Chains A and B, each alone.
Chain A
Amino acid sequence: MRVPLSWLGELVDLAPGARGAEVAASLVSVGLEEEALHGGDITGPLVVGRVLTFEEQIQKNGKPIRFCTVDVGHHGQRVTDGIPQEIVCGATNFEVGDLVVVVLPGAVLPGGFAISARKTYGRVSNGMICAEDELGLGEDHTGIIVLRDYLGEAAVAGVAPGDDALALLGLGEQVLELNITPDRGYCFSMRGIAREYWHSQGSPAGAFRDPGVVPSNPPANLDGYAVHLTDATPIDGSPGCDRYVARIVRGIDPSAPSPGWMRSRLTQAGMRPISLAVDVTNYVMLLVGQPLHAFDLDTLSGSIKVRRARAGERLTTLDGVDRELSPEDLLITDGGQIPLALAGVMGGATSEVTESTTNVLVEAAHFDPVTIARTSRRHRLVSEASKRFERGVDPRVADDAAQLAVDLLVEFGGGTVDPGVTDVDTTSSRTAYPLDVTLPGRLVGVDYSRDKVVQILTDLGCTVEDPGVAPLEVVFVTPPSWRPDLVDGPDYAEEVARVDGYDRIPSILPTPTDGRGLTHAQLVRRIVANALVGRGYTEVLSYPFVSADFGDILGMTADDPRRSAVRLANPLSDQAPLMRTSVLDTLLDSLRRNISRGQRDVALFELGMVTRPLPGASHTAPVPGVDRRPDDATIASIDAAVPSQPRHAAVVLTGDADRAGWWGAGRAADWTDALDAVRTVAGALAVPVAVSAGDAAPWHPGRCAAITLADGTLVGYAGELHPKVLDRLGLPARTCAAELDIDVLTTASAEPTRLKGFSTQPVALTDVALTLAEDVAAGDLQSVLREAAGEFVEWVTLFDVYRGEQVGADKKSMAFRLAFRAPDRTLTTDEVSGFRDAAVAAAAARFGAVQR
């Protein structure tokens, strides 16, 4: 909403000397949002000029340049010598004799652009002929402003060269642009803004002049144009239209222009002047917030019927679009048959006021906000009218608004008003709300007196009835017709607080008493992230959107459950319509970006949610009412529809894991680094995990480890990525990765660690080298050795692997060191040998291992 300061000053007394910034601050203090302050930023001579001559030359760049002489009246710098102002202009949209806008040397345009006489294209230009954008009037820079086109023939009739163009274009004054929140529909009018400004000044008596009260407004009678309101299918019980005022003005001069002040106010408010009838409806809408529609009476057949659209009905709206209507759309129809307008949104082409229209029917109606909102959304059609109706228009101002329009059409169009006044009014009066006067104070934390509460609400236009009987705290408040947003206690509390001033709200730190700190799951995520950072991984936060063929790219089998992904109905890009089912899906993109930016050794991790819908499950969540808590079954069915979203951590690394340097060569990242990351995470959480050969996409089938808990629960996978996947993604060969289900690790680490005792006796070490078949897994062998080594074994570790002629084909030799310790004594050599022999015997029995 754009608010010209001079217009505002007509409706409410501005504080002495208040300029745009002060007025904006006052309005902000009562809860309006300032968007911008326009105008008032041009200084110096900006005048009307008449083009006397021009000489056009084509420049080297192929563009034409006009060397003009312009009559700028007494502002001409050499006018006494009889020499006209010489100005160079790059535009060609004007003719000799046209009136244009000229800025002269010494002036400053918006943005601090100072004008001086300067040489351009070989000649001196004493000023500039202006385009719209240069004056901050709009975005247009296709040509200069030709006043006849810009203001209209009639408006320039009395304009002469040398006249002040600042005033002519309304540039001399400031226009405040405000952002109107959805609850403040009434502030989409000068009336509402003026009222708010008045409140910001303490609502002084007589300082606000309500333009919505029109003394000339006659009572309705039965002689008016026939109007019928019907609604067989109201939305949520609200009829589509509950008030329709129709007035007729005949004999308007179709060539009569709108008055200059009206045109300039419309321009300042961001609307383009069109014709008297249209300008008047827009002007009245800006003034009192009531959208009006003007029909060409001669295109109507005798009666208007407001009804819902029928299936299959169509209407071509004023914007030239032929629209298929929905039975929820509300229509203004001619005699019930021919659609004339989409009620409250946009008029139709057939009944439009044209340049030959002389008889006009003015509509001032009140439409249901939900109906208008839905139609506006359905047809993707947002108009000045729909914006206001969906936020709520004052239902009581319709007749006054119609009268304002009638008066203006009569005054400036020379028309005659019909005595018939149609006002079909089925609105009901608002019921009084029993307000506990202590509520504002209890909610806001400021001690408002009863008188203060009553005074503020009365100033706001509420009717406050004080019964003076028990319960004594209660008064009955009927909100004003323009405030549909005032419904219950807190609404009134906010009104009291904002008018009294939010700056009076104290600052009191609340003191909760039973906080239990971060949950285990929250701590786990911090531990995991920090541990990975310690191992050299950098955290990234990638977008969770993936392409439709991610499963193929990652080489998943057809029945891989991770292929089941949530699809977005309106993705940002058709290239990425799905939600990721693993973090690796999107982490690999981050890796690729780093590589493409010249990084070679990269280690990344991400910890975030993945979305895992059950394959084939219908994810439809019920939408219960909000008048009470939904029952547990309904909440459960909402939760059941929300897909499972476990948190995963993924790491990916490529290049050197240990960097090269003056100390020597680096060590290329390999599958062991991916497993180290897993062991880092599991170790940080003190969760024992088992590693076995795995086979899952997108890993290399021979270099993939499955990570499980002791009970077999799958935690994730780690290893080298599949060469084909790397190839498809354009990632370096041998890139390694791991992905872990952090929720699983969270559960597994939930119980506090119980300390197991450890011995302080001397340790006994013994080594054993075993020859066995190549396909025996080291992990399996180690487990068997450990299990068979008896109760005193402390650890078993593989320290050498040997392959060669000495051990034979398809065989390998593995050397293990075993450490033993008893809790209470030094073990003898014989004892240790016995333990070792038992371990070797078990390995022999299980795997055919032979001790070397």
Chain B
Amino acid sequence: MSGPTTPDAATPGQGADLPAALSEEALAAALEQAQVAFAAAADLEALKAARLAHVDKGAIAGARREIGALPPAAKAEAGKRVGAALDAVRAAYTAREEALQAARDERILVQERVDVTMPTGRRPLGSRHPIELTQERLVDIFVGMGWEVAEGPEVESEWMNFDALNLGKDHPARQMQDTFFVDPPDGGLVLRTQTSPIQIRTMLTREPPIYVVAPGKVFRTDDLDATHTPVFHQIELLAVDKGLTMGHLRGAIDHFVRAMFGDVKTRVRASYFPFTEPSMETDFQCFVCRGADDSCRLCGGSGWIELGGSGMVNRKVLTACGIDPDVYTGFAFGFGIERALQLRNGVSDMRDMVEGDVRFSGQFGMAV
């Protein structure tokens, strides 16, 4: 605190009239006592007590009460002096309070520390089946290029599943397919043995240009074992447009292979399927060893992996669907989704895919 600064304050005699409690010395002493008490307060509780003792009560508060009894001429001077002392003591209080609050907050945060390595998961996430995920992934490759997704029924007519695909009743290839027949066996209904009837349904209902990808469940009368399952999944491509060639077929397959297995080469050879002519079989380079490992488990050391059958849509198939084979050409390609999963994800036992064990799907989450 400084001394009097106004001309009035210097008026002789007036100061001498003030009670002792209002003396500069007394106020300075009271302030110092308060500061000492605040500093000594170890926590906010003690600080509150110190405030009570030194601000709300105590010497400065007492001095303030005495102002009222002073002559009016002295009031201003005394009020100013006490006010200054009060400001100073409050500032000291606030500073100490802030310091103590900060210390308390810090202590609480330390106290509230938990062990974040403890397990969590009251409600774990589920997971998608990797066959469905693979199917979606394959579909999206083509949807991104402007193809659409076509679907059809699983209990299907024989005409759609066989006849329209150039697999007449006596066709040797029709005998090779182990077909589930719906009772009665001559009722013309089967569980579809392939996704190809979707091609027929698409061509019957759409005008070219047609670019569709057709995924789905198919059925053959195989017993379940490590390498066979009576219910499995295929995905097919069908394109019908003017001027399509086997070159376009190969381009679509190459793109598919790159999207699924990385930047690997393909090779093609002649094959036979009733619903395509000319027909083609495609192999792609082993994406693990690229032919450099004679003992590669994925490709058996040959460096090549068989992909699937394809070809130009047989004229008879186009005709049965009402598409003029002299105007349009088309191509089709089929691939097993279980096979993609075996190749990309190392699923070696077919039974894992069908048994529904949560520990199987759980490993894939929502990505495959």
Contact = CB atoms under 8 A, between A and B. Distances in A.
Interface of A: 28-31, 33, 181-184, 369-370, 373-374, 377, 390-391, 442-446, 488-491, 493-494, 497-498, 502-503, 505-519, 522, 526, 529-530, 532-544, 566-572, 579, 589-590, 593-594, 597, 599, 602-605, 608-609, 611, 618-624, 626-630, 635, 638, 641-643, 645, 657-659, 661-663, 666
Interface in B317-368: 319-322, 329, 353-358, 361-362, 366
Contacts of A572: 221, 223, 230
Contact of A502 (B172, B191, B244, B268): B268
A512 B252 CA distance: 11
A516 B151 CA distance: 15
A675 to B, nearest CB: 16
Contacts of A605: 126
B279 interface: yes
B278 A569 contact: no
Given A445-B245, A533-B366, 10 more contacts: A507-B251, A535-B123, A542-B356, A569-B185, A611-B155, A621-B157, A624-B163, A628-B320, A630-B320, A638-B157
Given A391-B172, A512-B147, A544-B231, A623 B188 contact: yes
Contact of A445 (B155, B247, B314): B247
B315 A539 contact: no
Contacts of A510: 211, 239, 241, 244, 248, 251-252
Interface in B79-112: none
Interface in B105-164: 118-119, 121-129, 131-132, 136, 139, 143, 145-149, 151, 153-160, 163-164
B272 A182 contact: yes
A638 B153 CA distance: 12
B183 interface: yes
Nearest to A620: B187
A536 B125 contact: yes
11 contacts: A31-B271, A33-B271, A390-B172, A445-B246, A490-B312, A490-B314, A502-B270, A536-B125, A536-B126, A541-B132, A626-B164
In this complex, the member of B125, B157, B316, B322 whose beta carbon has the largest number of chain A beta carbons within 10 angstroms is B157
Contacts of B246: 443-445, 497, 505
B319 A508 contact: no
A629 B321 contact: yes
Interface stretch (B15-23, B37-45, B69-77, B174-182): B174-182
A41 to B, nearest CB: 16
Given A374-B170, A541-B131, A444 B277 contact: no
A369 B127 contact: no
In this complex, the member of B154, B255, B281 whose beta carbon has the largest number of chain A beta carbons within 10 angstroms is B154
Given A182-B272, A611-B155, A621-B189, A514 B251 contact: no
In this complex, the member of B129, B187, B239, B358 whose beta carbon has the largest number of chain A beta carbons within 10 angstroms is B358
Contacts of A626: 163-164, 166, 168, 316, 319-320
Interface of B: 118-119, 121-129, 131-132, 136, 139, 143, 145-149, 151, 153-160, 163-164, 166, 168, 170-173, 175-176, 180-185, 187-189, 191, 204, 209, 211, 217, 221, 223, 230-231, 239, 241, 243-248, 250-252, 254-255, 266-272, 274, 277-281, 312, 314-316, 319-322, 329, 353-358, 361-362, 366
B319 A627 contact: yes
A182 B173 contact: yes
Nearest to A651: B126
Given A542-B356, A543-B231, A579-B155, A569 B184 contact: yes
Nearest to A522: B149
A593 B329 contact: no
A635 B211 CA distance: 22
Given A182-B171, A514-B146, A508 B251 contact: yes
Nearest to A591: B356
Nearest to A510: B248
Contact of B122 (A181, A506, A509, A661): A661
Contacts of B354: 541-543
A590 B355 contact: yes
A555 to B, nearest CB: 23
B156 A658 contact: no
Complex A-B, nearest 8 residue pairs according to Cβ-Cβ distance, in ascending order: A31-B270, A629-B322, A445-B247, A494-B278, A445-B245, A590-B356, A540-B356, A515-B146
B316 A530 contact: no
A355 B259 CA distance: 65
Contacts of B361: 538-540
Contact of B268 (A391, A503, A516): A503
Contact of A530 (B128, B251, B272): B128
Contacts of A593: 355-357
Nearest to A521: B151
Contacts of A590: 355-356
- Chain B interface, DSSP helix/strand/loop, else mixed: mixed
A369 B175 CA distance: 14
A541 B353 contact: yes
A667 B20 CA distance: 75
A846 B36 CA distance: 74
A590 B122 CA distance: 23
Contacts of B125: 533-534, 536
Contacts of A373: 170, 172, 175
B128 A539 contact: yes
Contacts of A544: 154, 231
A518 B356 CA distance: 27
Given A390-B172, A443-B246, A494 B187 contact: no
A511 B146 contact: yes
Contact of A509 (B252, B271, B280): B252
A132 to B, nearest CB: 26
Contacts of B185: 569-570
Given A509-B251, A515-B145, A643 B155 contact: yes
A2 to B, nearest CB: 20
A488 B166 CA distance: 14
B159 A622 contact: yes
Contacts of A609: 153-154, 217
A621 B158 contact: yes
Contact of A182 (B124, B172, B278): B172
A519 B261 CA distance: 27
A535 B320 contact: no
A606 to B, nearest CB: 8
Nearest to B266: A507
Given A443-B329, A628-B320, A534 B126 contact: yes
Nearest to A589: B356
A735 B147 CA distance: 43
Contacts of A629: 204, 319-322
A181 B272 contact: yes
B230 to A, nearest CB: 6
A374 B169 CA distance: 9
A638 B320 CA distance: 14
Contact of B245 (A391, A442, A498): A442
B306 to A, nearest CB: 10
Contacts of A506: 247, 250-251
Contacts of A493: 277-278, 312
Given A494-B277, A661-B119, A638 B159 contact: yes
B126 A603 contact: yes
A525 B316 CA distance: 35
Contact of B149 (A446, A491, A518): A518
A514 B314 CA distance: 25
B362 A538 contact: yes
Contact of B180 (A571, A594, A638): A571
B189 A538 contact: no
A109 to B, nearest CB: 21
Nearest to A543: B231
B181 A570 contact: yes
A570 B221 contact: yes
Given A28-B269, A182-B172, A604 B358 contact: yes
Nearest to A516: B148
